[in-house]
Amino acid sequence: MDDNKKNYITSDELKKHNKPDDLWLSIQGKVYNVTDWAKIHPGGDIPLLNLAGQDVTDAFIAFHPGTAWKHLDKYFTGYHLEDFQVSEVSRDYRNLATQFAKSGLFEKKGHGVIYSLCFVFLLFSACIYGVLCSDSFLIHMLSGGLLGFAWIQVTYMGHDSGHYQIMSTRGYNKFAQILTGNCLTGISIAWWKWTHNAHHVACNSLDFDPDLQHLPVFAVSSNLFQSLTSQFYKRQLTFDSLARFFVSYQHFTFYPVMVVARVNLYLQTFLLLFSNRKVPDRALNILGILVFWTWFPLLLSCLPNWNERVLFVLASFCVTSIQHIQFCLNHFAANVYVGAPKGNDWFEKQTSGTIDISCSSKMDWFFGGLQFQLEHHLFPRLPRCQLRNISPLVQELCKKHNLPYRSLSFFEANKWTLNTLRSAALEARDFSSPVPKNLVWEAFNTHG
């Protein structure tokens, strides 16, 4: 009997192993030591560190194919979780994931990649033709818009290749990532993986999700007025007089900032690639960025003067701002929280922190599948062509467990987001009034 007891540990004991040099996780009640694995984990170490010392079964199922289970044995500690329990919502989520796997939905990618490649090729070709073969100012501006539109579609392809294999082999898939991210858009796929995986795991955590950490420009919750420490960037999110000024008018500056948001993505790419942080495929990423900063300036040099070059860039940025706005609509007006993510409420946290954009199926290509943001967060490996198909099942599960399923029109989502920003802006102007715990939730309730 004593020997059997030695094979079990409690959840409280598991929580003690939550450091980079002592990192344990539980999957289906079996405890694994992933300290060394975290250093070479394809998804980076941050998702593992954020969930360290917990049972992470739901997150593991969400991000890994069935073939990943066979690799766990080498990290098994020999311990099982003594108080391991599965909630009803987790059980239903896992059954749904199993159902999708048995139906082959994760492998049924459709012909979207081929269609997208052809469409992107046409957009880039039309843009280059407009720049090289026309002297018309209007054609040049339209070409800038086409380039921005091409960037949107290329970004969706990069997103898809980052979440699941869109090419025939892992090598070709990595090539697709570098091509669509670094070479064609100038935004490093390494930077995207670093931030995006953290966002998925810690969806709408003010101190763990980098996609909500936009001080001094934006603040979606009054909790950020307390100068929280970003657990992602390992620095304080300082709410000083400058941040107070910007946040006070953020509902007016939101759209103008989105137009130039791409500049920040270029900056973040350079800061990561030339930092001391360990970056997977650093040389390949830098090479891809050099490709972008070769062809893009050359294209601009073909325009007749600097005025047109600046306006061309502005036209392309104005079009891509639609995508930047969409990404904010999916999360800014949803519920937020402070603290580390928890592995045992995976489904609840994803429903709480996401908002879908309702649209006709004819517009799925335009939104890249990410209008089904909740479906994507629950099943990030699912090809975009399957997201509309599974939406009714997700809605049914949310209804069963009394969890929110919010699907708004593009106009409504913009309205919710602006109301959220406005609520926080008004609060930032007046420090003497009581600060509500969650302005985003308050803003959400004002919509009825």
pLDDT in tens, 351-366: 999 999 999 999 999 9
Whole-model pTM: value is: 0.91
Q: Is the pLDDT of residue 415 over 50?
A: yes
How far is residue 30 CA from its own chain's centroid?
29
Q: Which CATH class is domain 2-85?
A: alpha beta
Residues 6+ apart with CB under 8 A from 437: 222, 223
Sheet of 76-81: strand order equals: 8-9, 76-81, 30-33, 22-27, 18-19
Q: 112 falls in which pLDDT band (50, 70, 90)? A: confident
Give residue 113's pLDDT: 85
Rounded CA separation 92/352 (Å): 17
Q: Is the pLDDT of residue 444 over 60?
A: no
Structure tokens at 177: 């990532």
Q: Mean pLDDT across the chain, nearest whole number?
A: 92
Angle between helix 189-201 and 137-163 (nearest 10) = 60
| Residues 124-147, mean pLDDT to the nearest whole number | 96
All structural domains of the chain with their residue ranges: 2-85, 112-329
Q: 438 falls in which pLDDT band (50, 70, 90)? A: very low
* More confident call, 437 vs 244: 244
Is residue 167 within 8 Å of residue 177, measured between CB atoms? Answer: no
| Residues 404-421, mean pLDDT to the nearest whole number | 97
Residues 6+ apart with CB under 8 A from 337: 204, 205, 206, 352, 438
Q: 110 falls in which pLDDT band (50, 70, 90)? A: confident
Q: 431 falls in which pLDDT band (50, 70, 90)? A: low
| Residues 27-45, mean pLDDT to the nearest whole number | 92
Q: 1 falls in which pLDDT band (50, 70, 90)? A: very low
Token pair 């649209």 is found at 359
* More confident call, 93 vs 443: 93
Give residue 5's pLDDT: 57
